[in-house]
Amino acid sequence: MKIAIDQTLLLDRILIFALGERPLVDHTGIPQASIREAKQSGVLEGRVTLAQATRWANRIGVTLTELLTPQTTAVNANAATMAHDTADAQADAQVLVPLLHELTQLVDVLTLARTLGWDASRIESAINAADTSLATSGFAIQRIRCKLKMRPADPVDPTLRARIVGLRTSRRGLTQTEAAMLYKIVNGVQPANTLSNNARLVIGGLKNLGCIEPGQTAGRFQATKSLRLALPDL
């Protein structure tokens, strides 16, 4: 049996309540495959009882009448979704892209939608439009489960990355903490076996600057040949 449901209403309520498929399965007794199909197509297939459908409607805060729609209505709703105004989606993409550029870490789609005040179909349309608009920019939208971030479309050459980091650190010189660590190393005082996160960053900075390199003993460091040539007294 196929039951047409209001797909837009369903997706919006799932977004509002941050409901995963597993909690819905546990609460309603409806198979997970049927729930996933209903979310994707707006049609609930399989042996679903009236009691199960009622529990589902109650769980997302609507009545059974609101959740269930005639087949013609479901088809029209699906057609309206497919005919989403491209201009609006592109305008939303212009809002979304700068936001993802500023948020360098993975950000939850639900958090984005709530922050922007968008429903499920609108955020999905904006994501698709953003991905299309970035196609010629060298960037792409990376999607991992329900999270997003903007990343380079192609991997960065590690040699080029290292050169850029080296130039940047060379221009700014040593910080006070880096200078203190370098002074200890060139005088034979090695860092502790267990390094703090801050100490790891300092040592990484000194390595990027070409000041130190791993010593002959594991866990020990020494001045690089370039530094010893520049400072003969070392």
pTM: 0.41
- pLDDT number for residue 1: 59
Question: Are 110 and 72 within one domain?
Answer: no
Question: Are 64 and 93 within one domain?
Answer: no
Q: Are strands 107-108 and 2-4 parallel, antiparallel or unpaired?
A: unpaired
Of 100, 133, 152, the last residue of a domain is 152
Is 126 within 8 Å of 94 (Cβ atoms)? no
- pLDDT number for residue 71: 44
Domain holding 185, by residue range, is 158-230
Question: Are 65 and 93 within one domain?
Answer: no
Question: Are 54 and 109 within one domain?
Answer: no
Q: What is the pLDDT of residues 69-118, one digit of tens each?
A: 644 444 454 555 555 466 788 888 888 888 888 887 888 888 888 778 88
* CA-atom Rg of the chain in angstroms: 28
Question: Are 28 and 77 within one domain?
Answer: yes
- For the chain, what is the domain count? 3
CATH number, residue 72? 1.10.260
Token couple for 165: 């980091």
Question: Are 91 and 112 within one domain?
Answer: yes
| Per-residue pLDDT in tens (0 to 9) along the chain, 234 residues | 577 888 888 888 887 777 888 888 888 888 888 888 888 888 877 678 878 888 888 888 888 888 876 444 444 545 555 554 667 888 888 888 888 888 878 888 888 887 788 888 888 888 989 888 888 888 888 888 778 888 887 777 777 777 776 677 667 678 888 888 888 888 888 776 667 888 888 888 888 778 888 887 777 888 888 888 877 665
Question: Are 53 and 96 within one domain?
Answer: no
- pLDDT number for residue 161: 72
Name the H helices within 30-175. 32-41, 50-59, 64-67, 71-82, 86-102, 109-116, 120-133, 158-172
| C-alpha 154 chain-centroid distance | 17
Question: Are 192 and 130 within one domain?
Answer: no
Question: Are 163 and 218 within one domain?
Answer: yes
Of 38, 54, 82, the last residue of a domain is 82
Question: Are 212 and 166 within one domain?
Answer: yes
Strand arrangement of the beta sheet that strand 107-108 belongs to: 107-108, 147-152, 139-144
CATH number, residue 106? 1.10.10
How far apart CA 48 and CA 68 sit, in angstroms, is 13
- pLDDT number for residue 147: 86
- pLDDT number for residue 2: 72
